[in-house]
Homo-oligomer: A and B are copies of this chain.
Amino acid sequence: MFRFGVPRLLLITVLPLAAQMDLPLMPWPAKIVRGIGHFAVDTKLTVSATGAGADDPRVRSATIRFLARLAKQTKIEVPQQIAANPAIFSIVVDGATSGVQKYGDDESYRLIVTPQNVRLTAAEPLGALRGLETFLQLSVNSSVPAVDITDHPRFGWRGLSLDVSRHFLSVAAVKRAIDGLAAVKMNVFHWHLSDDQGFRIESKKFPLLHRRGSEGLYYTQAQVRDVIAYARDRGVRVVPEFDIPGHATSWFVGYPHLASGKGPYRVLKKTGVFAATMDPTRETTYTFLDGFIGEMAALFPDAYFHIGGDEVAPKGEWSRSLAIKAFMRKNKYTSLNTLQAYFNRRVMAIVTKHGKRMEGWDEILYPDLPKNIVIQSWQGQKSLADAAREGYSGILSAGYYLDLMEPAGKHYVVDPLKGETANLTPEQQKLVMGGEAAMWEELATEENIDAKLWPRTAAIAERLWSPAEVNEVAAMYRRLAPVSTWLETQGMQHRTQLAFMLKRLAGSHPVAPLADFASILEPVKGYVRHESQPYKSLGGTMLMNRLVDSIPPESDVARDFNAAVDRFLATHSTADDQLVRRQLTASRDNVPRLLPILTSEKLLLEHLKVAADVLDLCKAGLEALDAFRDGTKMSANRPVYLERIAELANGRADVLIQIAPGVLKLIEAAPH
């Protein structure tokens, strides 16, 4: 007895949080208890699905996809059919749901992995989908640690708002984004379908909208239905947005009588806040909107309908039109805000008539609107708190703008219930439904969209799903690295897209020196690039193919470097000296190899100065390191170094050299 060892039991043990958080999970589950041993994925795996909800097509197709994805990522020939019960991996879905996926649908699940088998239970189909993603993340290689996970989301609205107007995205890119959302348990795809720069959906009632408003780059209704079905299959709602009354120039190209000005109108190629605004005074505007919203409300099954409502230009057509001034006088509207509130009430009546709940950006909030609207806030928690105190629901997008090229860690610490919303009563806090990452496409294209979305969206997904206490940035980054690789195996192209673009820039030269150079760069942050010379001088196409477009928002190399500098300054350890020194030496020695590439391609010429900056920066940093090591003083150049590094913070060629902050710290602290 027991001759061959102790019987294999699942010995539940509770490890300290830090030790537990070594699993490559994102979002981190609500509760996780580690077991002992591992479950091995192999060619004999059987997966069953039972319970009242198991016949839901979403569960069946997610399970089939799960088997294919599991086989792909583990490289093991896992059988590709749903097996009969009892199976090694049993999925039990207690309750069936039907109809359109709703905000608040139950997404909870429990996943128990023992060395012998796996059991995934969920109250409803969505929970099963979420649990399958967790198992996939756990099984990046075929050995899955024993765990008992009890999980549910903190917020019911976790989404991505994606602008397809400024730069169009193909159906393939949209579906890939939805795959990614589902992989990190997000549940809303918010489709920003119209703006000044393009009307991106076919209207059968008003065909000049897409014909004249898009130059042929739009989704047919068949494609839209296909995307909606695709998203539903993955537990993701699709909320359409049609931005009115501002941001609507593309409507007016085909239907100029909708506008408050005289026209003629053209689809805009530049970005900004423009004068053209829908005319709120004419009844024909509302007749048109009734027809259009009716058509779209029938196409999009979701309960919510987003009407934008942001950024009506303060000195735009409304303030220039005599007819509008007369209308305001007649109705005693004293401000453009009051006028927009009137417009919103009218639109709200139409949206409601067609069976939808209206959603809009902060600006739609005005005292006399009914309480069932939803505010998406680009302004921040205060705006959400103000709304909640008035009884309005809202979601947070401020702090989650992916186009600002901020690091994942910065988005990660933004919490819908921190800041002003923390002071709300629990009842009011319930009105904060969640949040949405937002990706505006002025500076992104089909070529690099994945690199803008991933892996940063995973960090935001964790903020919106996981308990508020899961908030340590360093721990997030430790998990983000393997999750980023996992997302790549799930089809996201964030790395391959940029590799291709770099290769194109390198032309016939070897790409490695350019890639090494690029690895310490980041795009300038915020709206700096919108004001920069290269952007302002852009022609019609808004082609995005410079080096700044070919690098990720965030440099892992630079983050590691700066962390090593911090450790070195704290401990003066040889290991960290070596790490820092190696990076500086490598970046310095790379410059001579880089120059022939930079001079061979017109688009790279702007980086000759950046390369010179890198060279000087590395030399200065190495001098500081030597001063520490040798106990000598830095040269008289030190003030010059400090001055030049300060200048680097402005960026050049729309990039930042992101090892500069670390070098600056070294020089500031070095003996002098």
Contact = CB atoms under 8 A, between A and B. Distances in A.
Given A489-B504, A541-B71, A543-B71, A222 B215 contact: no
Contact of A603 (B43, B75, B225): B75
A488 B223 CA distance: 26
Interface in A182-221: 215-217, 220
| Closest 5 pairs between A and B when the two form their complex, measured CB to CB | A172-B172, A77-B539, A79-B540, A222-B222, A80-B541
19 contacts: A60-B216, A64-B215, A64-B216, A67-B541, A71-B541, A75-B545, A75-B603, A77-B539, A77-B541, A80-B215, A80-B540, A80-B541, A171-B171, A172-B172, A172-B175, A223-B226, A226-B226, A488-B500, A496-B496
A61 interface: yes
Nearest to A546: B75
Interface in A61-79: 61, 64, 67-68, 71-72, 75-79
Contacts of A540: 77, 79-81
A262 B225 CA distance: 40
Interface string A554-569: 0000000000000000
Contacts of A226: 220, 222-223, 226
A273 interface: no
Contacts of A579: none
A80 B215 CA distance: 9
Given A64-B216, A81-B215, 18 more contacts: A61-B216, A67-B541, A71-B541, A72-B545, A75-B545, A75-B601, A75-B603, A77-B539, A77-B540, A77-B543, A80-B540, A81-B540, A172-B172, A222-B222, A222-B226, A488-B500, A489-B504, A496-B499
B504 A500 contact: no
Chain A interface residue count: which class? Answer: 35 or more
Interface centre among A72, A78, A489 (most CB of B within 10 A): A72
Contacts of A77: 538-541, 543
Interface string A221-251: 0110110010000000000000000000000
A172 B171 CA distance: 8
A541 B78 contact: yes
A71 B81 CA distance: 46
Nearest to A223: B226
Nearest to A68: B541
A220 B222 CA distance: 10
A61 B215 CA distance: 8
Interface string A112-151: 0000000000000000000000000000000000000000
Contacts of A500: 488, 496
A81 B540 CA distance: 8
Contacts of A504: 75, 489
A602 to B, nearest CB: 8
Nearest to A537: B77
A603 B72 CA distance: 13
A78 B496 CA distance: 25
Contacts of A68: 541
Contacts of A43: 539
A499 B545 CA distance: 22
Interface in A28-67: 43, 60-61, 64, 67
Given A226-B222, A226-B226, A543 B72 contact: yes
Given A215-B81, A220-B226, A222-B226, A75 B543 contact: yes
A653 to B, nearest CB: 15
A79 B175 contact: no
A372 to B, nearest CB: 33
A81 B216 CA distance: 11
A171 B416 CA distance: 38
A545 to B, nearest CB: 5
Contacts of A75: 504, 543, 545, 601-603
Contacts of A602: 75
Contact of A79 (B67, B71, B223, B539): B539
A499 to B, nearest CB: 8
Interface string A150-190: 00000000000000000000011001000000000000000
A80 B197 CA distance: 13
A532 to B, nearest CB: 16
A245 to B, nearest CB: 26
A538 B71 CA distance: 13
A549 to B, nearest CB: 11
Contacts of A171: 171-172
Nearest to A269: B80
Nearest to A217: B64
A450 B75 CA distance: 20
Contacts of A603: 75
